[in-house]
Structure 1
Amino acid sequence: MSDPIVFVPGLLCTEALFAPQIVAFADRPIMVANHREQDSIEAIAAKILEKAPERFSLIGLSMGGYICMEIMREAPERVGKLALLDTNARPDSPDQSERRKFLIDLTRKKGFSKVPHLLYPGFVHEKREEDAALKQIVVDMAMETGPEAFIRQQTALIDRIDARPRLSEIDCPTLVLVGDGDRLTPPPVSREIHERISGSDLVLIEGSGHLSTLEEPDRTTATLRDFLNRP
């Protein structure tokens, strides 16, 4: 029997980020992690492990990937297969942290409603910047997440550790996937992860930005299916 799947969404994302994949893998038990209640990556990972099945396949995108790498540090024996989508093993750079602090300050002083619109262009391939339907999904996920959770998530991202030194310890089958037009965590960042995890697969999704599960759902799902079904 196939392991259950635990999906871990990205910043300001909900289960809607994985809607096409949840449908595709409806024959397996599925859990979508809650990453909105704690303000550190370590605490989020620990809470997910409390709720997760004893053994599972783990799939995370962006911030979800950071959390997945922490889960691998805390409980690698529980993960049968790992998929890291459009993510980054490096700690926040000073510029990234300053941008996050600006957005936290904006949220507290001016409100949250403009934040998803400011972030959207960086989330998607340049060809999807004017895609109203995709933008609405992203904005809806953000509004469901809300300002308080957004501030907690940004705080967790600012304080996250450098995961690169521990990547070589990952020994379960691992897929590293990234959109060729990902501007937040570009392909060289995924290649760095791939090169540090022995035996991992690296897949580039053409025509996708940072949200590969929504921008190119068919190709992303097919890649995940092939990976998860591999003996």
Structure 2
Amino acid sequence: MERPTLVMLPGLLCDDAVWAPQQQALAGAPCFIPDYGLASSITQMARLVLEQAPAERFALAGHSMGGRVALEMARLAPARIQRIALLDTGYEARQPGDAGDAEQRKRLALLEIARTRGMREMAREWAVGMVHPDRLDTPVFEAVLDMVARKTPEVFAAQIEALLHRPDATPVLQGLRCPTLLACGRQDAWSPLQRHEEMQALVPGSRLVVIENSGHMSTMEQPEAVSAALREWLVD
């Protein structure tokens, strides 16, 4: 059976490197990895990908912020999505009150570092919480830093704006009726497993895969396990 086109959405400050191992492992499926440019809302990102996608209908995988973009695409154009995979991501809007204000302060503080000291120096602080502790100061960690360093403070500012004003995707999850995979690193401190268990409860018939010995960057930290989960999802 011919595999569907697979649209793979990167997360915050990520590029095609975040999906490189899966693109290679799933070589039988035509893959498309977009760039959001300076889009500054989740909806703008979703519309951009829908315009650029090389097929009318496709399988859709999103990592981190890319998972939120995937859910917005499912809201805007559900008929175009054959199946959806959401990895190390979330679905709720920014919390109101003190919690939401604290998130905004933390994100803007990182942006200030990026503007004054450079993207790589910012990434060195930010990415510590993005990977399993055992991967600090390893080639995987350096690859994450290299990826972030390829972006600019202007892109970072646009994506922060998008995340601070992210929509609540609860109704989208509840409405999904296509084959749905949820995957999360066991040690993901940024988008924890509990959140993915909540998402699974919202999506009838969805499957949750826990990626062992992995933090938030599961596609790079445990590429074989993620690729295996995606391969099974594509033929489900």
TM-score, with length taken from structure 2? 0.93
Letter of the 1:10 partner, please give it: G
Displacement after TM superposition at 1:100 (Å): 1.0
Preserved CA contact (<8 Å) 1:36 1:153: no
Structure 2 Cα separation of the partners of residues 92 and 141 of structure 1: 26
1:61-80 equivalences under 5 Å are 61-80=63-82
Determine the structure 2 residue equivalent to 1:121.
Answer: 128
Query: Which residue is 1:224 aligned to?
Result: 230
Unaligned runs of 5+ in 2: none
Identity of aligned residues (%): 37
Q: CA deviation at 1:43?
A: 0.4
Paired residue type of 1:90: E
- Matched-pair contact (CA < 8 Å) for 2:120–2:148: no
Aligned residue among 102, 124, 132 for 2:109: 102
1:158-173 matches, cutoff 5 A: 158-173=164-179
Q: How many residues align?
A: 229
- 1:114 alignment partner, SS class: helix
1:182 and 2:188 equivalent? yes
- Unmatched tracts of structure 1, length 5 or more: none
Q: CA deviation at 1:109?
A: 4.1
| Partner Cα distance (2:105, 2:92) in 1 | 16
Aligned mates of 1:113, 1:182 — CA distance in 2: 22
Report what 1:31 is aligned to. 32
Q: Equivalent residue for 2:88?
A: 86
Q: Tell me the amino acid that sits aligned with residue 99 of structure 1.
A: K
Q: CA deviation at 1:27?
A: 1.7
Q: CA RMSD in A?
A: 1.2
Deviation at 1:65, TM superposition (A): 0.4
**Deviation digits for residues 173-203 of structure 1, max 9, x if unmatched?**
1000001000000000111111101110011
Alignment CA distance shift 1:227-1:113 (3 Å): closer
Q: Retained in 1: the 8 A contact 2:181–2:233?
A: yes
Residues in 2 aligned to 1:217 and 1:144: alpha-carbon distance in whole angstroms: 21
Runs of 4+ in structure 1 deviating by more than 4 angstroms, as ranges, are none
TM-score (norm 1): 0.95
- What letter is aligned with 1:201? R
Task: Give the Cα separation in 2 of the matches to 1:221 and 1:50.
Answer: 26
Distance in 2 of aligned mates of 1:21 and 1:110: 32
* 2:52 matched residue in structure 1: 51
